Amino acid sequence: MLGLVHLERHRVCLSTIYSCGLRLQEGIGLRVGDIDSARALVHVHLGKGAKDRYVPLPQRTLELLRAYWRTHRNREWLFPAPGRAGGGESSATVPMHCGGVQEAFRLALAQANIHKRASVHTLRHAYATHLLERGIDLRHIQEYLGHNTPSTTSIYTHLTDKANRRAAQSINALMQDL
């Protein structure tokens, strides 16, 4: 679906939101200095509850961010406001507006013929579910998402049949010598 997003700034922003499990405001508000490429981390400032956190930065996302940054070279914002005529990103003093990203997401959903209710926040849920399916510990996912309690993160455990099958296989393997 992300491949169907037409404007590069929206596609890279949505890809970053998904691949780092960010909220919309966290994604569009990323600054150049928030990227720690040496440690492969993104510093999320003042997330929900005014909490800072670090999330893993996938290599492919870093490559996308670098390529996109070269198109505007804004010293502060990774996703600067484009300006009225689609230019001015290099000197923008604010990040792009969330409405454009939300509309790009809605259009890509329609073009992909996906009729389920979804929003940009759905990418965050997909991130958590996909990490869980890959066997990432729930405690790590809790940290990446910035949740205060494990119970908030545990809602993702019921979302995945794959995780349920893997758990059943592990239980069966553990108990096979009874």
- Catalytic residue, chosen from 18, 127, 144, 156, is 156
Instruction: Based on the residue annotation, tell me whether 147 is a catalytic residue of this protein.
Output: yes
**Rounded to two decimals, what is the model's pTM?**
0.84
Please give the C-alpha separations between residue 78 and each of 69, 72, 97, 129, 168, in angstroms, as whole numbers: 6, 9, 13, 26, 43
Distance CA 2, CA 106 (A): 11
Instruction: Based on the residue annotation, tell me whether 121 is a catalytic residue of this protein.
Output: yes
Q: Give the pLDDT of the chain (178 residues) as one tens digit per residue.
A: 899 999 999 999 999 999 999 999 999 999 999 999 999 999 998 767 668 899 999 999 999 999 999 999 999 999 999 876 556 788 888 999 999 999 999 999 999 999 889 999 999 989 998 888 888 888 898 889 988 777 777 766 665 666 667 777 888 887 787 6
- Catalytic residue, chosen from 31, 121, 130, 166, is 121
Distance CA 16, CA 70 (A): 16
Instruction: Based on the residue annotation, tell me whether 23 is a catalytic residue of this protein.
Output: yes
Distance CA 116, CA 125 (A): 14
Instruction: Based on the residue annotation, tell me whether 156 is a catalytic residue of this protein.
Output: yes
Structural domains for the chain: 2-175 (1.10.443.10)
Which residues have C-beta within 8 Å of that of residue 83, sequence separation ≥ 6? Answer: 89, 92
- Catalytic residue, chosen from 43, 45, 48, 125, is 48
Q: Which two tokens stand for residue 81?
A: 């406001």
